A and B are shown apart, each in its own frame.
Chain A
Amino acid sequence: MAQPLGRLKESASQTAGPYVHIGLTPNFAEIEGVYEADLGISMVNDKTRGERITVTGQIFDGSGTALKDAMVEIWQADAEGLYNSPAEMRGSADPNFTGWGRSPTNMQDGEFRFETIKPGRVPFRDGRLMAPHITFWIVARGINLGLSTRMYFADEEAANAEDPVLARIEHRVRVPTLLAPRDGNGYRFDIHLQGDKETVFFDI
């Protein structure tokens, strides 16, 4: 016998359920007066540096039906490629940009929406630059463990071509599922949970 490593096991995940809005966006759920504003609805202010963009999309199940009860969170670098996080060691991120946003998919057509900025490039583990990207985390009724994916910008062709994470995807036909096309003032990122158009999800 050897010494025990003495590690704990991570708490098991459970679905967020259909009423996730009560806890995470109570004002959206019409529970008003508890919190002043829902957390994560605003990522930018007047002083935020960078190109303003809107990111919208829908999440589709295996039958092609849009989810109207999902919650989407995003995490991204500022315009210089710095994260607003204590674990960011390379410098101070833009204090006028949170880097984190939360949006419920609306109850009419299931669209999520973020008003944000286009992120700068961030280095990969070996120092090569990754292409600009936004990290997505999706929870909903029927999703037992939050799903992680990345949105890349379809108009960043050169950067995307050298991105070390996109390069990891063996089935090249799946890469476009992570590329958001330009759509007016912003980008459109539709997510398919299952089937022929299934989005690439990561085990991070």
Chain B
Amino acid sequence: MSVLSNSKPETGSFFQRDLGWHPPAFAPQYKTSVLRAPQKALISLDNTLSEITGPVFGHNILGEFDNDLIHNFAKPGESAIGPRIIVYGRVLDERGKGVAGALLEFWQANAGGRYRHRKEGYIAPLDPNFGGCGRTITDEEGNYSFRTILPGPYPWPNRVNDWRPSHIHFSIFGHGFAQRLITQMYFEGDPLIWKCPIVDTIPGREAIEGLVAALDMEATLPMDARAYKFDIVLRGRRSTMFENRLEGS
């Protein structure tokens, strides 16, 4: 863990989360949510130090290939099978400021929609050169990028014929534990997005479109890999200029 720059750390409370924008806990079209959704109201809590603070990770935790899923599980000289892509973007807060030093972790299925996991039984085969996990940390402006293969769609036992759109799972740490977020990135133009019960847990179309990465031909490497741009927005935080001060300080 390390302090990232000489700039003064921000210590204000986070903006209230818009729970009508996020998916509700109970969304019966996604069947597993039915027994895993609290029924009682959440108790709202203006942030204390326990929520304003959070772990920050230094670049020294990263290995050379942590942001290269094409190679980080492959045998020497080999690489994962599938359409090669670069995913890049910025982590911003709700005020539009770049979030420096944000740890991003991502995981995904292989090109055929098969996850490398003991509990996964889909008939599509594993790729011996693809593990499916990666991570990176944003730079001073909040930029990140990684290289991977386009994940395939994948069937799952919800309704009889439900298929997940191609997606990459993202886990993000900001600077406070209250910013902790897990979400999924989808790909521009995928018709399965609008048929998916998990996507459909999100109430508004605008919020869904915020999770769809755009094809970016300008960032594409000719004869190598296409590029998708995916920005992530974390909760903003209030200025501390008129914040109540602790007694005696």
Contact between A165 and B107, CB atoms less than 8 A apart: no
Q: Is the CB of B246 within 8 A of A35?
A: no
Residues of B within 8 A of A7 (CB): 94-96, 236
CB-CB contacts of A146-162 with B at 8 A, as 1s and 0s? 11101000000000000
| Chain A residue with the shortest CB-CB distance to B33 | A142
**What's the tally of chain A residues with a CB closer than 8 Å to chain B?**
84
| Contacting pair B36 A61 (CB below 8 A) | yes
Partner of B182, one of A61, A146, A168: A146
Is the beta-carbon distance between A23 and B133 smaller than 8 angstroms?
Answer: yes
Interface band, chain B? 35 or more
The yes or no answer to A62 lying at the interface (CB within 8 A) is yes
Q: For chain A residues 1-24, which have a beta carbon within 8 Å of chain B?
A: 6-24
Query: With a CB–CB cut-off of 8 A, which chain B residues contact A63?
Result: 35
**A198 contacts the other chain (CB 8 A):** yes
Known: A17-B169, A22-B117, A135-B177. 11 other contacts (CB 8 A): A7-B95, A7-B236, A12-B202, A13-B181, A23-B106, A35-B63, A76-B50, A125-B244, A142-B35, A143-B25, A146-B181
Interface residues of chain B: helix, strand, loop or mixed (majority)? loop
Q: Does B195 belong to the interface (CB within 8 Å)?
A: no
Residue in A11, A22, A24, A198 whose beta carbon sits within 8 Å of that of B181 in the complex: A11
Query: Quick one: which of B23, B115, B210 contacts A144, CB cutoff 8 A?
Result: B23
Which one of A13, A89, A141, A169 has the highest number of Cβ atoms from chain B below 10 Å of its Cβ?
A: A13
- Other-chain contact of B55, A23, A35, A100 (Cβ < 8 Å): A100
Q: Are A130 and B48 within 8 A (Cβ)?
A: yes
What separation, in Å, do the CA atoms of A74 and B89 have in the docked complex?
Answer: 28
Choose from B37, B53, B135 the contact partner of A193 (Cβ within 8 Å): B37
In the complex, which residues 171-192 of chain B have their Cβ closer than 8 Å to any Cβ of chain A?
A: 171, 175-178, 180-184
- Bound together, the chains give a CA A24 to CA B211 distance in angstroms of 20
B18 CB-CB contact with A under 8 Å: yes
Complex Cα distance, B184 from A145, in Å, reads: 12
